[in-house]
Amino acid sequence: MPNNTAIPKGDNHSGPSYNCIRQDLERRSTGHISIHDLCNKTLPEAMIVFLPSEKSLIHLKLDKQLSDRFIIPDSFWDSVSQEASGFFRCQESRSVDDVLEAYTTLFRVLIKQPNTGSSSCKSNGILYTWHKFTFLTSWLPSNKLVVLCFDLPPPFQNTLIASLINSSTHLEMRDMYSIHVLLLWEITKLFDFALWSSRDLVRDLEKNRVSKEDPQPDYDRMHELARHAIHTSEMLEMTLETLTAIIREHELFFDNNPALPKSIRTISKQTMRDLRFQNTIFKSLHLRSKALEDRLRNEINLAFNIVAEYDSRISVRLSKEMQVDSFSMRTIAVLGLLFLPGTFICAIFSTSFFNFSPGNTTEPQRWVVSDKFWIYWVVTVPLTLVIMLLWCIYQPLSRNQKWDRR
């Protein structure tokens, strides 16, 4: 999985600084901020910070500052969480008087993107990239919001910055989940693009099916495509679980805080509608991904059937040729049976054990059998028995050797 680590813009006494978006009084701008300033200085109304990967932050020993400032649990930095395909967690920070002081969420989404980029992983000719999206949101009742984005791909960073800076996208500070709607929508578009990329690969396979005359299917590529489709379905299913958890926690927060002003509750209803809308979109994408799996399975089965049909035709052709050969062998066998007795008799009588003397004027014709004719039987009968015995011994041994080779 490639590491799209954010590159610090510069070093000063506060350490490396990272890209960020600020919002104050509905005015937005881009800039840079260090971890030290992020954790210790007064922040604007809203700030989105693009940080490097979690592993990089641990290596730079910045994870402790972030954990203390934004109430990040230790489990987030653990390898189990870092290798997870998705998760969602939220936490309320309350005073001793049970007054809400901060509301923090953590969530991750993973996307597998087939593409043609030079930095992509390659498997059987199929290029792909893993995109990991990890976000932390910290909301204060004073309507302040901080979003930490970990290890985002540069194209996604640019898209998110453009969406916030160059448009009238509204960030509703009174609902801590309004930012989730924006982030998830950008992720939805990437999932959609990834699915269409996978669909193009599947469609190319469907349009170039194996020939029935000489089928040579590329099973390795087919199964590799199926593996990518399975990964995509897994990621979408996990994203659906994450979104379901977000919706559930959003409902739970407002159900447990009935004293919130009516205006905030009205805003929360619209946020809930937006989240549910995105839930239906993700379900649609998930169904499309499952359909791609089924289409790939159909193509693999079709290739197997075409090869099986081709092999069947070859078998029928060989069977017909064997029938012709069998007829020829039977003809030869009949001819052999026809001439073998006479040939055998001729062979015996042509030996020196038999002697025919034609008659003359003084002696009649004679047929003389040698008194040593018994030698023929003494040699022939034992030799025949030995050959038959060897054949009987060889047959079982030959069968056993064949089974051992199997």
CA 361 to the chain's CA centroid: 105
Question: Which residues fall within 8 angstroms of residue 260, CB to CB, at 6 or more apart?
Answer: 254, 268
pLDDT score, position 1: 45
What is each CA distance from 75 to 50, 151, 201, in whole angstroms?
A: 21, 18, 38
As a whole number, the mean pLDDT across the chain is 85
Enumerate residues 6+ apart whose C-beta is below 8 A from 209. Answer: 299, 302, 303, 306
pLDDT grade for 43, boundaries at 50, 70 and 90:
confident
Assigned domain for 140 exists: yes
Give yes or no for residue 149 having a pLDDT over 90.
yes
Whether residue 329 lies inside any domain: the answer is no
Q: What is the pLDDT of residues 123-145, one digit of tens each?
A: 566 788 899 999 999 999 888 99
Using CA atoms, how far residue 401 sits from 216, 381, 393, 395, 405, in Å, is 33, 31, 13, 10, 6
How many structural domains are present in the chain? 1
pLDDT at residue 219 tops 90: no
Q: Residue 231's Cα: distance from chain center in Å?
A: 5
Q: How far apart are CA 74 and CA 94, in angstroms?
A: 19
d(CA 264, CA 276): 18
Considering the entire predicted model, what is its pTM? Answer: 0.74
Domain membership of residue 160 (yes or no) is yes
| Continuous segment of H or E residues that includes residue 313 | helix 262-349
Kindly tell me the burial class for residue 32, based on how many C-beta atoms sit within 10 Å of its own C-beta (0-12, 13-18, 19 or more).
Answer: middle
What number of other Cβ atoms are within 10 A of residue 270's Cβ?
Answer: 13
Residue range 62-72, pLDDT digits in tens: 999 999 999 99
Closest CA to 293 of 183, 387, 366, 202: 202
Which residue range(s) make up the domain with 90?
A: 10-310
- Residues 6-21, mean pLDDT to the nearest whole number: 68
Q: What is the pLDDT of residues 239-268, one digit of tens each?
A: 999 999 999 999 999 888 887 888 888 899
Q: ∠ CA 375-376-382 to the nearest 5 degrees?
A: 95
In the numeric block, the tokens 């039977």 are attached to 330
Q: How far apart are CA 264 and CA 266, in angstroms?
A: 5
pLDDT over 90 (residue 319): no
Per-residue pLDDT of 65-124, as tens digits, reads 999 999 999 999 999 999 999 999 999 998 888 888 899 999 999 999 887 544 455 556
Contacts of 55 (CB under 8 A, 6+ apart): 3, 82
Going by pLDDT thresholds of 50, 70 and 90, the confidence category of residue 3 is: very low
Contact 353, 373 (CB under 8 A): yes
Residue 43 belongs to some domain of the structure = yes
Q: Answer yes or no: are the C-beta atoms of 104 and 138 closer than 8 Å.
A: yes
363: Cα within 13 Å, side-chain hemisphere:
6
Burial class (CB in 10 A: 0-12, 13-18, 19+), 281: middle
Q: Is the predicted pLDDT of residue 336 greater than 70, yes or no?
A: yes
Tokens representing 98? Answer: 């049970």
Instruction: Give the H or E element holding residue 106.
Output: strand 100-114
Checking if the pLDDT of 405 tops 70, the result is: no
- What lies within 8 Å, CB to CB, of 113 at 6+ separation is 128, 129, 130, 131, 190, 193, 194, 197
Residue 216 lies in a domain: yes
Q: Is residue 357 part of a domain?
A: no
Does residue 352 lie in a domain region?
A: no
Give the confidence band of 404 by pLDDT, cuts at 50, 70, 90: low
Asked whether residue 346 is domain-assigned, the answer is: no
Q: Supply the DSSP symbol for 209.
A: P
- At which residue do the structure tokens 């700030």 appear? 47
What gap in Å lies between CA 246 and CA 269, rounded to an integer?
Answer: 14
pLDDT score recorded for residue 290? 95
- Mean pLDDT for the stretch of residues 7-30: 74
Query: Could you tell me the pLDDT band of residue 174, with boundaries at 50, 70 and 90?
Result: confident
| Per-residue confidence band for 7, with pLDDT thresholds at 50, 70 and 90 | very low
Q: How far apart are CA 224 and CA 193, in angstroms?
A: 19
Q: How far is CA 138 from the centre of its chain?
A: 35
Q: 367 by DSSP, 3-state: which?
A: strand
pLDDT in tens, 183-193: 999 999 999 99
Supply the pLDDT for residue 118.
45
Identify whether the C-beta of residue 250 lies closer than 8 Å to the C-beta of residue 177.
yes
